[in-house]
Amino acid sequence: MEKKKDPGKPEPGPRKKRIFSIIVFLIPLVFIIILEIFLRILGYGGDTRLFISGTDDISNYWMCNPKVARRYFFMQETIPTPSKDLFLKEKPENGYRIFVLGGSTTAGFPYGNNIMFSRILNRRLSDTFPNKYIEIINTAMSAINSYTLVDLVDEILDKQPDVIIIYAGHNEYYGALGVASMESLGRIPWVVHTYLNLKKYKIFVLVRDIVGSIRKAVGKTFYDSTKEDPTATLMARIVAEQKIPYQSEMYELGKKQFQNNLTVIFRKAEKANVPVLVSELVSNIRDQAPFESVKIDSFPTAERAYQVARALDRQKDYADAQIAYSLAKDLDALRFRASEEFNDIIRQTAEKFKMPVVPMKSVFEKQSPDGLMGNNLFVEHLHPNVDGHFLLADAFYRELLNNKFISPDPDSNLIKTSSCYREGWSFTPLDSASAALGILYLKGGWPFKPKTRPNHSLDNFTVKTIIDSLALRVLVDKSYSLESAHLHLAEFYETRNQYNNALNEYMALIYTIPWEMMFYERAARLLIKMNQTDRALGILLESFKYGSTAFTNKWTGQLLIAQGFIQDAVPYLEKAYALTPDDKQLENNLIKAGDFLQKTIGEHAEPKQSRIDPQQVPQNNSGELKITSNTVLLQNSIALVKAKNYNKALPLLKKSLKIEDTFEARKWLGLVYLATGKFKESIVNLEKADNMNPDNFEVLYNLAHAYILLKQKLPAKNIIQRMEKLRPDFYDPQKIRSKLDELK
């Protein structure tokens, strides 16, 4: 029955109707705005910016946000985190800034941050370009793909990069938001990009979390989902669709996804005038059989291709074996290793934008027996071992130099080989044990073993040492990190007066978290206790790059005083005294230093105030080197030797020996004498260096060369035999082997 209109009630006019319609429309909009503001006030979803400000003593730095991966992993309890890298908020005039993008290989898996290729690359570039302030910021995380890289690149470009480095592509299918991932949003790229644009709104994050919770609840109810395994790899947990046959629809979608996203990154970088250095992808083809073998039209199965490759390998037909191994890897339906078509995409996209490509495949093949990449450089199917990470760093280093990114004319005397860094790198038995145990557990589960089979890899693992115990705890205890294990092990060694072992752990921590002052303090304290005061001073000076404490200022000042550099010591002592005015020892040292300086000023002209700068070689107005400590003295001497200014280097090295007889001084003095034709003096110093540090390859090579130049065949032959035990195929620029054969 139709309702009759009230004749006494006037009909609302058009204007009132419009106002009413606007109010009806605005009510939900206002509600949404209020809710968004409320969620922001509450900080819902946390801070997921890529870069956040450092705290306290490092507040002048940006750092990678450990929670940034919450943008992509809303179905996982455990999320990956980027490395602990810092960079200055104010980029210095001589600054050179490199950002690194990638997945677990780029993040250093299965090792700690001290073995990431970016850490190695940073030290090498800093040594090669001492006048540049090199910053390398590694943003890589496990289980991400090119969607994440696209999402991060705008924030990276905002931070004034000079170069962007990319090593990525293996995770394209199963990485977060990939077409076969548990964290997938579907197979339509614009849907994913829309999601990435909307996630900055808190209401959207709230809706996403609600949907994620519903998905988890449904999974538990209907599919009997169990609690996630804290020791399972993140990649194993986020794989949704295991089998992706070669050239199938999903396979092609993954390729297209990678190509489109790589193009977006290159285009953004080109617009910002920032070069991109992208690398080919490498993996274990020789020693890793395919995980999933399926029948595909016009192709053999992956398993059959691998069997053919093994047969060709045994027949020493290595060229054809390589083709068959690569085909087996490409046909593997479990896409944990990128197919060769991804390398084609990398090369084609880079060529389109005229960007260089690191030929990583040929680099790894040249270092592999028979040119076949296998267990010699990988810990399993994909991730490089320690030698592999140094190889990655070396390849990027060479390409940066070849393309003259940092300087058109680097000093060749400052370019050291990768082996020089490999031999002295801060990597301890704990690092090795932790990585080995992680790989053991990884290979005990899927995909190396059936998914339904429990992981029994640790059943026979026996804890024999404290290192075993700590490595096991790092693996199974989510709240316990490798950094904590290094610290505990160092303290354990200290209580047993095993100072060298403790020092190695502290140095590994410095390489892992370079801005943590406590590690510098503890390393310096140990070195002082071991009476290695000059090395302690070097560690302390390095720490001032990131800040200072009462301890670092006090001991820098006191060590300078002990070496007779009173004027340089005073500013450090004054700063330490301002922080700890009750320190009587500090007060007495300041009084004595002041009395000494007053006496000096009374007897002579007032000395100029000097400054220690560990980044540069100090000079005064006349251009003569200004000596402030044995550490800086050696740095200056070495710089002169590398510049072939032997006449100035010689007296400085002799002066360094008077302060302290060190391996470095003997080594470089031997090199100076060798270069100036004083072969007997060279041998005397190189032999002393060899006694201090046996098996140092550089010393042995120069010593053998000096013996040959003096025509002393037998001792030269003995040294070369020692060298061949260290490196059977060592590089021989001076042709000492042929020169030895020519001697009678």
Average pLDDT on 260-272 reads 96
> What residue ranges in 193-330 does DSSP mark as E strands?
276-279
Q: Are residues 251 and 399 in the same domain?
A: yes
Place of tokens 């209907």: 222
Q: Are residues 498 and 549 in the same domain?
A: no
Q: What's the pLDDT at 617?
A: 26
Extract long-range pairs of 701-709: CB within 8 Å, 24+ residues apart: 701/730, 701/734, 701/736, 702/670, 702/671, 702/674, 703/670, 704/736, 704/740, 705/674, 705/734, 705/736, 706/670, 706/674, 706/679, 706/682, 707/683, 708/736, 708/739, 708/740, 708/743, 709/674, 709/679
Q: Are residues 440 and 407 in the same domain?
A: no
Q: Is residue 433's pLDDT more than 80?
A: yes
Q: Is residue 66's pLDDT more than 70?
A: yes
Q: What's the pLDDT at 633?
A: 64
Q: Could you tell me the pLDDT band of residue 225, with boundaries at 50, 70 and 90?
A: very low
Place of tokens 């290595």: 318
Average pLDDT on 497-515 reads 94
Q: What's the pLDDT at 621?
A: 29
Q: What's the pLDDT at 174?
A: 87
Residue pair 85/99 in contact (Cβ under 8 Å)? The answer is no
Which two structure tokens, joined as six digits, stand for 159? 């931070």
Average pLDDT on 133-148 reads 94
Instruction: Check residues 550 and 604 and name the one with the higher pLDDT.
Output: 550
Domain total of the chain:
5
Q: Are residues 320 and 366 in the same domain?
A: no
Indicate the pairing of strand 51-53 with strand 163-167: unpaired
Q: In what order do the strands lie in the sheet with 86-88?
A: 51-53, 61-64, 86-88
Q: Are residues 479 and 548 in the same domain?
A: no
Average pLDDT on 463-487 reads 93
Q: Are residues 173 and 308 in the same domain?
A: no
Q: Which of 317, 516, 555 is nearest to 508 (CA)?
A: 516
Q: What's the pLDDT at 609?
A: 40
Q: Are residues 549 and 684 in the same domain?
A: no
Indicate the pairing of strand 163-167 with strand 95-102: parallel
Q: Could you tell me the pLDDT band of residue 570, with boundaries at 50, 70 and 90?
A: confident
Q: What's the pLDDT at 604?
A: 45
Domain-embedded: residue 434 = yes
Q: What's the pLDDT at 615?
A: 37
Q: Which of 641, 633, 611, 652 is nearest to 563 (CA)?
A: 633
Q: What is the CATH number of the domain that holds 687?
A: 1.25.40.10
**In one letter, which amino acid is 217?**
A
Residue 639 φ/ψ, nearest 5 degrees = -60, -40
- The domain in which residue 643 lies consists of 630-742
- Contacts of residue 521, Cβ cutoff 8 Å, sequence gap at least 6: 543, 549, 551, 552
Domain boundary among 472, 503, 534: 503
Element (H, E) at 343: helix 340-352
Average pLDDT on 580-596 reads 81
Q: What's the pLDDT at 611?
A: 37
- According to DSSP, residue 349 is labeled H
Indicate the pairing of strand 357-358 with strand 276-279: parallel
**Maximal C-alpha separation, the chain:** 130
Residue pair 263/326 in contact (Cβ under 8 Å)? The answer is no
Among 21-25, 327-331, 592-596, which range has the highest average pLDDT?
Answer: 327-331
Q: What's the pLDDT at 7?
A: 59
DSSP state letters, 134-203 = EEEEE---TT--HHHHHHHHHHHHTT--SEEEEE--TTTTTSTT-TTBTT---S-HHHHHHHHHHTTSHH
Q: Are residues 385 and 525 in the same domain?
A: no
Average pLDDT on 423-438 reads 94
Average pLDDT on 36-44 reads 70
Instruction: Check residues 500 and 693 and name the one with the higher pLDDT.
Output: 500
Q: Are residues 321 and 361 in the same domain?
A: no
Q: Are residues 525 and 574 in the same domain?
A: yes
Instruction: Check residues 168 and 182 and name the one with the higher pLDDT.
Output: 168
Average pLDDT on 474-500 reads 94
Write down how long the chain is: 744
Half-sphere exposure of 250 (CA within 13 A, CB side): 18
Residue pair 194/177 in contact (Cβ under 8 Å)? The answer is no
Among 78-82, 170-174, 265-269, 731-735, which range has the highest average pLDDT?
Answer: 265-269
- Contacts of residue 392, Cβ cutoff 8 Å, sequence gap at least 6: 105, 117, 167, 279, 360, 384
Q: What's the pLDDT at 218?
A: 58
Q: Is residue 651's pLDDT more than 60?
A: yes
Percentage of the chain beyond pLDDT 70 is 83
pLDDT digits (tens, 9 = 90+) for 589-614: 888 777 776 666 544 444 434 434 43
Prediction pTM value: 0.75
Q: Which of 657, 740, 666 is nearest to 706 (CA)?
A: 740
Helix (H, G, I), strand (E, B) or coil at 721: helix
Q: Are residues 409 and 491 in the same domain?
A: no
Average pLDDT on 338-342 reads 97
Name beta bridge partners: 99: 137, 164
Element (H, E) at 87: strand 86-88
Domain boundary among 452, 480, 503: 503
Distance of CA 559 to the CA centre of its chain: 32
Q: Is residue 655's pLDDT more than 60?
A: yes
Q: What's the pLDDT at 258?
A: 95
Average pLDDT across the chain, whole number: 85
Q: Is residue 711's pLDDT more than 60?
A: yes
Q: What's the pLDDT at 616?
A: 29
Q: What is the CATH number of the domain that holds 359?
A: 3.40.50.1110
Neighbours of 520 (CB within 10 A): 29
Dist CA 276 CA 463 (whole Å): 46
Percentage of the chain beyond pLDDT 90 is 52
Q: What's the pLDDT at 240?
A: 58
Q: Are residues 250 and 389 in the same domain?
A: yes
Q: Could you tell me the pLDDT band of residue 743, with boundaries at 50, 70 and 90?
A: confident
Domain-embedded: residue 640 = yes
Domain-embedded: residue 521 = yes
Element (H, E) at 604: none
Domain boundary among 423, 441, 464: 423
Domain-embedded: residue 19 = no
Q: What's the pLDDT at 356?
A: 96
Dist CA 744 CA 742 (whole Å): 6
Least confident of 414-423, 514-523, 688-697: 688-697
